């Protein structure tokens, strides 16, 4: 069966996706500011460890990563996108290592998104190669796969989140993959397992989105301010932490 021609993506942005990304980056800024305040002992740890906050954090990072997966369907070149994100990620690693050798960002959200974009690009290249050599799927079979793949990805995420991610292993150098040792420490930690499955879930759902299968409001609804913010999340992510850390230090200084 011939694949449907995408109606969105590449040159057709979907404002709601940028809006959601804009809202999510505001949450990221808020969450990191709480960490900075805690670092200077200006707030109680309960601000970050309470059950409501843990639930809110889980929901927000799940949306953020899923929408990043959706966005890979709108990218002109996921190889370049992934390399650009990884470059930014290791800049964060370098800066945080300079600030604190013992507790820096070894494999955080940017590392995950960069590597995920590259892995998705590799999977897409493999899919296209196999499509040339294997008989095409029937229309019914393709529709079944379009439902099964996101369901499997979401199931794999929850399974590995509550098993692999919640424990440590007697291994070294595999923390980035999800198998961290007991002494592995990263001030921002989003390993490939389980979070790549969440990214894939977004990518598979994104296939429906770019084909115009979602309700009409999805392609027109947006909040202009967050829409604009959502187009510059990478820069906000890179620049917000030095500013917030400076503000937290100033508050600490004034309190003394």
Could you tell me the residue ranges of all domains in the chain? 15-255
Q: How far is CA 154 from the centre of its chain?
A: 14
Residues 175, 161: Cα–Cα separation, whole Å = 14
Q: At residue 220, what are phi and psi to the nearest 5 degrees?
A: -125, -30
Q: Is there a contact between 69 and 206 (Cβ–Cβ < 8 Å)? A: yes
DSSP state of 164: T
Phi and psi based region of residue 33 (left: phi greater than 0; alpha: psi -120 to 50; beta: remaining)? alpha
Radius of gyration for the chain, computed over Cα atoms and rounded to the nearest angstrom = 20
Per residue in 74-116, pLDDT (tens digit) is 998 999 999 999 999 999 999 889 888 888 899 999 999 999 9
- The pLDDT assigned to 1 comes to 37
Return the structure tokens found at 18.
């940028």
Q: Is the pLDDT of residue 3 over 60?
A: no
More confident residue, 256 or 210: 210
pLDDT band, residue 7 (cuts 50/70/90): low
Return the structure tokens found at 250.
């100033």
Residues 157, 151: Cα–Cα separation, whole Å = 10
What would the mean pLDDT of 122-137 be, rounded to a whole number? 88
pLDDT band, residue 9 (cuts 50/70/90): low
User: 10 Å Cβ neighbour count for 39?
Assistant: 16
């Amino acid at each position: 069966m011939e694949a449907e021609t995408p109606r969105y993506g590449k040159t057709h942005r979907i404002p709601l996706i940028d809006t959601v990304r804009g809202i999510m980056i505001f949450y990221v800024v808020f969450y990191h500011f709480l960490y900075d305040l805690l670092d200077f002992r200006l707030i109680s740890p309960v601000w970050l460890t309470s059950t409501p906050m843990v639930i809110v954090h889980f929901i927000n990072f799940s949306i953020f990563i899923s929408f990043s997966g959706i966005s890979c369907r709108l990218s002109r070149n996921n190889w370049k996108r992934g390399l650009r994100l990884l470059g930014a990620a290791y800049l964060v690693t370098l800066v945080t290592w300079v600030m604190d050798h013992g507790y820096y960002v070894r494999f955080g959200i940017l590392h995950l998104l960069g590597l995920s974009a590259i892995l998705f690009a590799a999977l897409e290249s493999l899919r296209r190669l196999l499509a040339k050599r294997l008989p095409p799927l029937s229309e019914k079979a393709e529709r079944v796969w379009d439902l099964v793949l996101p369901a499997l990805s979401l199931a794999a995420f929850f399974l590995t989140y509550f098993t692999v991610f919640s424990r440590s292993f007697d291994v070294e150098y595999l923390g980035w993959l999800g198998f961290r040792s007991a002494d592995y420490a990263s001030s921002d930690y989003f390993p490939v397992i389980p979070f790549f499955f969440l990214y894939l879930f977004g990518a598979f759902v994104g296939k429906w989105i770019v084909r115009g299968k979602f309700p009409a409001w999805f392609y027109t609804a947006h909040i202009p301010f967050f829409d604009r913010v959502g187009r510059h999340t990478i820069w906000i992510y890179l620049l917000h932490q030095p500013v917030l850390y400076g503000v937290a230090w100033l508050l600490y200084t004034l309190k003394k």
